Amino acid sequence: MNNPTPFILWRVILCIIAGAIAPLSLAPFDYWYLGGVSVALLFILLHNCTSRAGAWLGWCYGLGFFGTGVSWVFVSIHEHSSASALLAGSMTALFVAALALLFALQGWVYTRFFRNVVGFSALWILFEWLRSWLFTGFPWLYLGYGLIDTPLAMFAPLGGVWLLSLYVVLTSTLLVTFLKRLKYPLQAATILLIIGLPLIAIQQNKIPQSWTSPIGEPISVMAVQANIPQQQKWQRGELEYILQTYVDLSQGSEKADLLIWPETAIPTFYQRARVILTPFTEQLEKSGTSMISGIPTVYTDPEQPKGKRYTNSLTLFAGGIGNYDKQRLVPFGEYVPLEQQLRGIIDFFDLPMSEFSLGSPDQPLLHASGSRIAPFICYEIAYPELVRQQSLSSDLLLTVSNDTWFGHSSAPAQHLQIARMRALETGRWLIRSTNNGISALVGPDGKISATVPQYEQAVMRGEVQRMAGLTPYQEWGIKPLQVVTALMLLFGLVSAPGSRESRKGF
């Protein structure tokens, strides 16, 4: 930006503000309408500027968007390593600045080739989808999550969270266009009709309330939230205390069909844990209770430098046999990119769980308590397509997490909201078991039926129901929306105004 004018500086500032308010539409704030306000502001600010300016403004928007939405990265680095506040802040800022480059590219493509509502909306969905897989993916902060507690949530089983995101973006940009077209009644009325069609369909009960149906008897569930401090979890001398804590919390007069311990609840390998837990698991077998726990797994692998491969896993300890290895790893948390260069810089890069390997993409479901359970560990629940594919032959979803990493930030609430959307998209009950909250049982409608207080030891009890059938999204995935998005991009491209680079911006 050479010799920026005050007007340009104001545009930059407004872009940062516009990006910063978007995450406020999501949990734990839940001001759902701010997602649309944020998008409308960006749409207006990109008007009549060059593609170079569009890239800069997109990047500024991304700084605000991710700076607010993933600020919890600072908590993870600062509180769980020796990193000072300055170093943790610098690393978080670098992470945010890198993610914001996607919005920079989005802004450049839009101002270079489109400059219309259709192109803007289609590009938004395209880039949300890119974030679900590019560089292993960071599928966080999708605008559609903000609609989960609104009547529009019933469209999630049709096209997933991306369909809801499309409605947010298309509606907000069309409202801006509507205000510009008030002098043209026919055009204005057409815009209002497009915006209102989904609402009319809801009002007329044209959208099915449920795409799946219950089978069999309800399953009683007990999920243990032990609230073990992260600093204590991997200390060798604490193993027996930790396991005994889980055993004590799991024992009660009320029997459960399914007992769940959260992600890496057992901080040792199966062989050692099995010896310690045998008396307890034998009791579970006698009572007919299935037990699933998070645990690290070690495999012999000659191709690895140390001859061993480690995975973050879920294992059945009673009431069945089965194991699941995590397929999506958290960068810097469970594996370290540029490992040789970064290890040893700060303790955060040398954590005990930062040498995990990817699990196989083709793993069987867990079978417990007469149910076929699709398992997901922590970060994995944020991948819509992964959950969809894994759940096709399941009748119940299970996700475990250790949200201690996030402290008292907004991330645990965001994580739960994401899990709720997966239940809604697939029309299945979901069990969410965490170390320190937010543990919950979620129905096929995305509503929470049971939960326990965060940041304390507690036992969550409730019932879930096995479900049969497939939602349209579960059956078809994102493909129909990709076709629609491609057609929108084509239409936006051919209808784009000319003389793009002649416009004054920066």
The pLDDT score that the predictor gives to residue 254 is: 83
Q: Can you give the pLDDT at residue 290?
A: 97
Is the CB of residue 224 less than 8 Å from the CB of residue 378?
no
More confident residue, 329 or 342: 329
**Strand-strand pairing, 290-300 and 258-261:** parallel
pLDDT in tens, 290-303: 999 999 999 888 87
d(CA 71, CA 95): 10
Quote the tokens at residue 37.
């306000």
How much is the pLDDT for 499? 43
* 181 closest CA partner among 117, 91, 100, 268: 117
pLDDT of 132: 95
Q: Decide if 292 contacts 258 (C-beta within 8 A).
A: yes
Residue 7 has pLDDT above 60, yes or no: no
Instruction: Pinpoint the alpha helices (H) of 311-381.
Output: 339-342
CA dist 410 and 161 (Å) reads: 20
Is 144's pLDDT higher than 70? yes
When pLDDT is cut at 50, 70 and 90, the band that residue 404 belongs to is confident
Q: Is 303 marked active-site?
A: no
Percent of all residues in the chain with a pLDDT value above 90, rounded to a whole number? 69
What is the band of 502 on the pLDDT scale with cuts at 50, 70, 90?
very low
Strand, helix or coil at 355? coil
Q: What band does 333 get if pLDDT is binned at 50, 70 and 90?
A: low
Q: What is the pLDDT of residue 329?
A: 77
Q: What average pLDDT does this structure show over 266-292?
A: 94
Looking at the DSSP bridge assignments, the partners of residue 400 are: 377, 433
Question: What's the pLDDT band for 196 if we cut at 50, 70, 90?
Answer: confident
Rounded Cα distance between 447 and 468, Å, is 18
Q: What is the mean pLDDT of residues 437-445?
A: 96
Residue 310's nearest CA partner among 382, 359, 364, 276 is 359
Q: What is the pLDDT of residue 351?
A: 47
Per-residue pLDDT for 87 more than 90? Answer: no
Task: Give the residue from 308, 284, 285, 305 showing the smallest Cα distance to 296.
Answer: 308
Q: Which of 233, 326, 334, 425 is catalytic?
A: 326
- Active-site residue, selected from the candidate residues 233, 355, 378, 380: 378
For helices 156-180 and 117-130, what crossing angle results, to 10°? 150
pLDDT at residue 209 in the model: 82
User: Is pLDDT at 35 greater than 80 in this prediction?
Assistant: yes
314 residue type, one letter: L
Question: 83, 348 in Cβ contact below 8 A?
Answer: yes
pLDDT at 344 over 60: no
Query: Tokens standing for 142?
Result: 């999708």
Say how far apart CA 145 and CA 139 lie, in whole Å: 11
Determine how many CB atoms are found less than 10 A away from the CB of residue 268: 18
The pair of structure tokens assigned to 54 is: 């569009």
Residue with structure tokens 């077998």?
Answer: 285
Please say if the pLDDT value at position 81 is more than 80: no
Residue 348 reports pLDDT greater than 50: no
Confidence of residue 354 (pLDDT cuts 50, 70, 90): low
**Stretch 450-467: mean pLDDT, rounded?**
96
Contact of 145 with 418, CB cutoff 8 Å: yes
Q: 79-88: which pairs have CB atoms within 8 A and are 24 or more residues apart?
A: 79/407, 80/230, 80/231, 80/348, 80/351, 80/405, 81/346, 81/347, 81/348, 81/349, 81/351, 82/346, 82/347, 82/348, 83/346, 83/347, 83/348, 87/346
pLDDT over 90 at 286, yes or no: yes
Annotated catalytic residue within 49, 128, 233, 263: 263
State yes or no: pLDDT of 127 exceeds 60. yes
Rounded to whole angstroms, how far apart are CA atoms 148 and 268?
A: 38
* Domains detected in the chain: 6-209 (no CATH), 213-470 (3.60.110.10)
pLDDT digits (tens, 9 = 90+) for 321-332: 899 999 987 765
Report the alpha-carbon distance of residue 259 to residue 368 in Å, rounded. Answer: 10
Distance of CA 272 to the CA centre of its chain: 33
Q: Is 378 a catalytic residue?
A: yes
Please tell me the number of Cα atoms within 13 Å of 21 on its side-chain side: 17
- For residue 504, pLDDT over 80 is answered with no
Q: Name the average pLDDT for the chain.
A: 90
Sequence-ordered alpha helix ranges (H) in 206-361: 230-233, 239-250, 270-287, 339-342
pLDDT at 304 > cutoff 80: no
| Confidence grade of residue 187 (pLDDT, cut at 50, 70, 90) | confident
**Would you say the pTM of this structure is higher than 0.85?**
yes
pLDDT of residue 88: 83
Catalogue the E-assigned strands of 327-413.
Answer: 366-368, 371-377, 396-401
**What are 258's strand-pairing partners?**
221, 290
